[in-house]
C-alpha cells in the first residue's frame, strides 16, 4: 500500500473524502466495513482494480472476496465482446439478493461497460439496486461518490469523458508481491473498426515519464521482480508530448534502474512497432524476450476494412525483423475470426500466417458486433455456426504448432522467476522471461527469486528440475 502521507496535490481533493470516510464509515456501519472488487476483462482493468482497492483500503474498508459478507461491492467491467457483457449482467443481478441480506450494502459498476450510455441507461431502469455507475475517466473519484451516497445522495451516474490529464497518486493496493502492473498510458486513438475501446476509454494519454520511472524504482525497491508496462498501445507512448521520450527510450530508462528484474509490456500495435523498439529489446537484458503483436487477420483486404494501417506483407516483414534481432523471441497474437464480410479465402490467409510465424500462443476471438462501431454496420453474411467451424480449425492448427513448441522447449534450461506455489506441496511455479511457465520441486524460500531450471517434460504443464 502506498503511504497516504505521500499523496500530493493531484489527489488532495479525494484525499479529503478518504479522511472524511474513515470517520463516517465506522459510525454508519458500527463496525469496520468490508469491500469487494470484482474484475472482468483485460490487464488494464486488473490494474485499475488495484487502485480501486487502494482507495477502499485507505478509506477504512477491509477487502474480502466473499460477496455475502461485504458492505461495498464494485464490478469493474469489460465491453470488448458481447460475452464479457453478458457475464457482467449476470453478476450485477445477484446484488438484489445481497442487498436483501445487507440493506446497507453499496453497489457500484465501473469500467468500459459503465462508460456506455446505453448500459448506464439500462442499469438506471432495470437494476435499481445499483447505487453508483462511474465511467473510465472518473473512477479515481470513488471516495467522493461513496461519501455522498452514504450521506443520502441520490443514485450517482458519472460518466464524464473529457480526456483530461491523467490523475496521479491514487493509492494502490497491488495484488502481487513480485509481479506488478505499471500503466504508462491510457486510451486509444486507433479506431479499429470492430473495437469499442476508443469510445469507452477516450483518447491516448501518456503518463509523465518521470512519474513512471519513480513508480518503477519504488516497485523494484519494494521487491517486485517482474514489471509489466501497460497501455492499449504502448508503442505509441509519448507521441505528441514535448518531453520527446518515446516507448523505446522509456524502456531503456527503466532497464537502467539498478536491480534484478524483468520488464514486460503490452499491448503493441504492429503499425507502431519500430526497428528502434526491436533493437532496444535486443540491447536491454532486463526486457522480456516476448512480443505480443496482435495481427487480427492474415488477409490484407480484411486488415484494410479493420483500419489496421498495415497489410499481411508489412506484418510478416516486421516478424522477420524481430526474429533476426531477437532469435529467442516468443511471439503471441490476437486474432479475430469472422469479421463482417470475411470469406473462407480470407480466413485461409489467417491460417497460413499462423503456420508461417509459429506463435507461442494465440488469443482467438469470434467477431462480436459492438454498439456504435463502424464494423457493426457492415453486412455480415457468414453464420455464427460457420464462424465457429473456422474458429475450431484455427485452434486445431495452433494445437499442432504448440506440440512443436513443446518439443523445442523440453530439454532446455531457463532462468525463471519463482512466482507462486504450485498445487502440489513442495513445488513452485516459475516463469521464464518469455512465455513459458514451469513447475519444479523447490523450497518456498525461493518465492520471488530467480533460479535456473531445466524443463524435463510436458503433461499439460511443463515440469522441470531446479539446476
Ligand atoms: N470482437 C471480437 N474480438 C474483439 N477484440 C476487440 N474487439 C473485438 C470484437 N468486437 C479483440 C482483438 C483485440 C483483443 C483485445 O480483443 O483481437 O486485440
Ligand atoms: Fe481496440 Fe485497435 Fe485500440 Fe487495440 S488498437 S484498443 S484493437 S482500437
Nearest CA to ligand 1 atom 2: 367
Cell reading at 133: 455507475
Residue 368 β-bridge partners: none
Question: What ligand has the least distance to the C-alpha of 336?
Answer: 1
Over residues 159-194, the pLDDT tens digits come to: 998 888 889 999 999 999 999 999 999 999 999 999
| Local confidence band at 311 (pLDDT 50, 70, 90 cut-offs) | very high
pLDDT category, 350, cuts 50, 70, 90?
very high
Res 3 pLDDT > 50: no
Residue 25 has pLDDT above 50, yes or no: yes
400-415 per-position pLDDT tens digit: 999 999 999 999 999 9
Task: Starting from the CA of residue 41, give the closest ligand.
Answer: 1
* Residue 6 pLDDT > 80: no
Using a 6 Å cutoff on CB, does residue 269 contact ligand 2? yes
Q: According to the model, what pLDDT value does residue 76 have?
A: 98
Query: Which residues, other chains included, contact 219 with Cβ-Cβ below 8 Å and sequence gap of 6+?
Result: 180, 182, 227
Distance from Cα 245 to the centre of ligand 1, integer Å: 29
**Is the CB of residue 365 below 6 angstroms from any atom belonging to ligand 1?**
yes
Average pLDDT score over residue span 192-213: 96
8-state DSSP, 208: P
* Ligand 1 proximity of 326 Cβ (cutoff 6 Å): no
Ligand whose nearest atom lies closest to the CA of 332: 1
| 398-463-460-174 Cα dihedral, nearest 10 degrees | -90
Q: Which atom of ligand 1 is closest in space to residue 369's alpha carbon?
A: 10
The pLDDT confidence band at residue 55, using thresholds 50, 70 and 90, is very high
- Indicate which residue's Cα is closest to atom 12 of ligand 1: 334
Ligand 1 midpoint to CA 365 (Å)? 7
307 CA distance to ligand 1 middle (Å): 13
| Average pLDDT value for residue range 252-262 | 98
Kindly report, residue by residue over 57-108, the tens digit of the pLDDT: 999 999 999 999 999 999 999 999 998 888 999 999 999 999 999 999 999 9
Among 334, 361, 364, 373, residue to substitute to test ligand 1 (most atoms within 8 Å of Cβ) = 334
Q: Which residue in 257, 113, 246 sits closest to 185, CA to CA?
A: 246
Average of per-residue pLDDT values in the chain? 95
Q: To which H or E segment does residue 314 belong? A: helix 312-325
Q: What is the mean pLDDT of residues 228-237?
A: 96
CA-based nearest residue to 140, from 204, 55, 22, 264:
55
Q: Are 61 and 71 in contact (CB under 8 A)?
A: yes
Q: Which atom of ligand 1 is nearest to the CA of 373?
A: 10
Q: How confident is the model at residue 5 (pLDDT cuts 50, 70, 90)?
A: very low
Q: What is the pLDDT of residue 10?
A: 64
CA-closest candidate to residue 275, choices 242, 308, 246, 240: 246
Q: How far is the CA of 294 from the centre of ligand 2 (A)?
A: 10
Pocket flag, ligand 2, residue 190 (CB < 6 Å): yes
| Distances, alpha carbon 332 to alpha carbons 208, 346, 359, in Å | 29, 20, 5
Q: What is the mean pLDDT of residues 320-338?
A: 97
Q: What is the mean pLDDT of residues 428-440?
A: 96
Ligand 2 atom 2: the closest Cα is on which residue? Answer: 192
All three cell numbers of 86: 453478458
The pTM of this model reads: 0.94
Minimum CA distance residue for ligand 1 atom 13:
334
Q: What ranges make up the beta strands (E) of 242-391?
A: 262-266, 290-292, 330-337, 361-366
Q: Above pLDDT 90, what percent of the chain?
A: 94
Under the banding of pLDDT at 50, 70 and 90, the label for residue 8 is low
Would you place residue 321 in the very low, low, confident or very high pLDDT band (cuts 50, 70, 90)?
very high
Mean pLDDT over residues 447-458, rounded?
97
User: Is the model's pLDDT at 217 over the cut of 60?
Assistant: yes
Q: In what order do the strands lie in the sheet with 290-292?
A: 290-292, 330-337, 361-366
Ligand 2 neighbourhood includes 268 CB (under 6 angstroms): no
User: What pLDDT, on a 0 to 100 scale, did the predictor assign at position 168?
Assistant: 92
407 CA → ligand 1 middle, Å: 31
User: Of 201, 386, 365, which is closest to residue 295 (Cα–Cα)?
Assistant: 365
Nearest atom in ligand 2 to the alpha carbon of residue 269 is 5
Residues 201 and 212: beta-carbon distance below 8 Å: no
Ligand 2 pocket: which of 190, 194, 370 to mutate (most atoms within 8 A of CB): 190
pLDDT of the residue at 116: 95
CA distance 110 to 89: 13
Indicate whether residue 195 lines ligand 1 (CB < 6 A). Answer: yes
Of the chain, the percentage scoring pLDDT greater than 70 comes to 98
Amino acid at each position: 500500500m502506498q503511504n497516504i502521507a505521500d499523496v500530493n496535490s493531484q489527489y488532495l481533493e479525494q484525499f479529503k473524502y478518504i479522511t472524511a470516510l474513515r470517520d463516517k464509515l465506522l459510525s454508519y456501519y458500527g463496525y469496520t466495513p468490508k469491500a469487494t472488487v470484482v474484475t472482468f476483462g483485460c490487464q488494464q482493468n486488473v490494474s485499475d482494480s488495484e487502485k480501486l482497492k487502494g482507495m477502499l483500503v485507505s478509506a477504512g474498508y477491509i477487502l474480502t472476496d466473499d460477496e455475502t459478507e461485504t458492505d461495498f461491492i464494485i464490478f469493474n467491467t469489460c465491453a470488448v465482446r458481447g460475452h464479457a457483457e453478458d457475464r457482467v449482467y449476470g453478476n450485477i443481478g445477484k446484488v438484489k439478493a445481497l442487498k436483501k441480506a445487507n440493506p446497507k450494502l453499496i453497489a457500484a459498476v465501473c469500467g468500459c461497460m459503465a462508460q456506455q450510455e446505453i448500459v448506464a441507461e439500462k442499469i438506471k431502469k432495470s437494476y435499481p439496486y445499483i447505487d453508483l455507475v462511474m465511467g473510465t475517466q472518473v473512477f479515481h473519484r470513488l471516495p467522493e461518490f461513496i461519501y455522498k451516497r452514504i450521506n443520502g445522495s441520490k443514485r450517482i451516474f458519472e460518466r464524464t469523458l473529457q480526456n483530461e490529464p491523467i490523475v496521479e497518486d491514487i493509492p494502490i493496493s497491488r495484488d502481487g508481491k513480485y509481479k506488478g502492473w505499471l500503466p504508462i498510458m491510457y486510451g486509444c486513438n486507433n479506431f479499429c473498426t470492430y473495437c469499442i475501446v476508443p469510445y469507452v476509454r477516450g483518447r491516448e494519454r501518456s503518463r509523465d515519464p518521470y512519474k513512471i520511472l519513480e513508480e518503477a524504482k519504488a516497485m523494484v525497491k519494494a521487491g517486485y521482480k517482474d514489471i509489466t508496462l501497460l497501455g492499449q498501445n504502448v508503442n505509441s507512448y509519448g507521441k505528441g508530448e514535448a518531453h520527446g521520450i518515446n516507448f523505446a527510450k522509456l524502456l531503456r530508462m527503466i532497464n537502467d534502474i539498478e536491480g534484478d528484474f524483468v520488464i514486460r509490456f503490452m499491448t503493441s500495435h504492429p503499425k507502431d512497432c519500430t526497428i528502434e523498439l526491436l533493437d532496444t529489446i535486443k540491447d536491454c537484458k532486463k526486457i522480456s524476450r516476448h512480443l505480443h503483436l496482435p495481427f487480427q487477420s492474415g488477409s490484407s483486404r480484411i486488415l484494410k476494412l479493420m483500419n489496421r494501417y498495415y497489410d499481411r506483407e508489412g506484418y510478416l516483414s516486421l516478424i522477420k525483423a524481430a526474429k533476426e534481432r531477437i532469435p529467442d523471441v516468443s511471439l503471441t497474437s490476437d486474432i479475430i475470426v469472422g469479421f463482417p464480410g470475411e470469406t473462407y479465402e480470407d480466413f485461409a490467409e489467417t491460417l497460413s500466417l499462423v503456420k508461417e510465424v509459429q506463435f507461442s500462443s494465440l488469443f482467438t476471438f469470434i467477431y462480436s458486433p459492438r454498439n456504435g462501431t463502424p464494423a457493426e454496420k457492415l453486412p455480415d453474411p457468414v453464420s455464427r455456426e460457420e464462424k465457429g467451424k473456422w474458429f475450431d480449425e484455427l485452434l486445431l492448427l495452433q494445437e499442432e504448432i504448440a506440440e512443436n513448441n513443446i518439443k523445442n522447449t523440453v530439454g532446455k534450461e531457463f532462468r525463471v522467476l519463482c512466482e507462486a506455489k504450485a498445487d502440489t506441496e513442495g513445488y513452485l511455479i516459475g516463469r521464464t522471461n518469455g512465455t513459458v511457465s514451469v513447475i519444479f520441486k523447490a523450497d518456498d524460500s525461493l518465492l520471488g527469486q530467480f533460479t535456473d531450471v531445466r524443463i524435463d517434460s510436458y503433461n499439460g504443464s511443463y515440469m522441470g528440475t531446479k539446476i
